[in-house]
Amino acid sequence: LPKVLSMGRQIASALAAAHNKGIVHRDVKLDNVMLVPDAEAAGGERIKILDFGIAKLAPASDVDGVRTSTHLIFGTPAYMAPEQCRGAGQVDDRADVYSLGIVLYELLVGRRPFLGSSSGELMGQHLFMEPPALAQMLPGVPAALDGLVAKLLCKDREQRPRMAEVARQLADLGELYNS
């Protein structure tokens, strides 16, 4: 638990820094998170966020008369926020918050909350199904962490916290469970 909280806080902090610059990653997943040795970091390892290849500036801007297409879908379906499943034009920084919720769930439970055999099936689950509660999948998980992950996985992006708040909450939980 302390390792997952530390990793989650580092991921959230890095994404919050990107969000502060107006950059939305849009493909947050375990394959894009690297754990690298760093003697100066607590625990001797540091998180690096990789592959900003489909990142976008938020909000969609009209630069030289060119607008982001709103009917394209970018991302990895297993980790995509509901609004991202609907199309690229509706995505803001809270899509990364949702994806981080999927990553945390996977790190804690050992599998993602939604499983499917096709991209369409996965996107349908993100759009219309509630994920199994973390506490149901991992009995004994701290209630505060269960509640945080549930907030990250809210279908309504307006109900999700901003990434800087997620980083703060994960840091607080990390202090609680490291002591």
Q: What distance lies between CA 22 and its chain's CA centroid?
A: 16
Q: What are phi and psi of 99, to 5 degrees?
A: -60, -40
Catalytic site includes residue 27? yes
Residue 147: closest CA among 121, 173, 119: 173
List, in order, residues 6 or more apart from 146 with CB less than 8 Å away: 133, 134, 135
In 3D space, the residue among 151, 147, 125 whose CA is nearest the CA of residue 135 turns out to be 147
The SS3 call for residue 28 is coil
**Residues recognised as catalytic:** 27
